[in-house]
Amino acid sequence: MSSRNWSDDDELMRELAEALRPEPGEQQVRAAARGAYEWRTADIDVELAALLYDSDLDQTVRVRGPLSGSPRILVFGTADLRVEMEFSESGIEGQLIPPEPGAVRLLTSAGATEETTTDELGCFSFPPRRRGPIRVACLLSCGQFVTEWVTG
| pLDDT band at 96; cut points 50, 70, 90 | very high
Give the pLDDT of residue 65: 56
Give the pLDDT of residue 60: 58
Considering the chain, what percentage of its residues have pLDDT values greater than 90? Answer: 24
> At residue 135, does pLDDT exceed 80?
yes
> At residue 1, does pLDDT exceed 70?
no
Letter string b/e over residues 4-38, b meaning 16 or more CB atoms within 10 A of that residue's CB: eeeeeeeeeeeeeeeeeeeeeeeeeeeeeeeeeee
| Beta carbons within 8 Å of 106's beta carbon, 6+ residues apart | 92, 112, 113, 114, 115, 126, 129, 134, 136
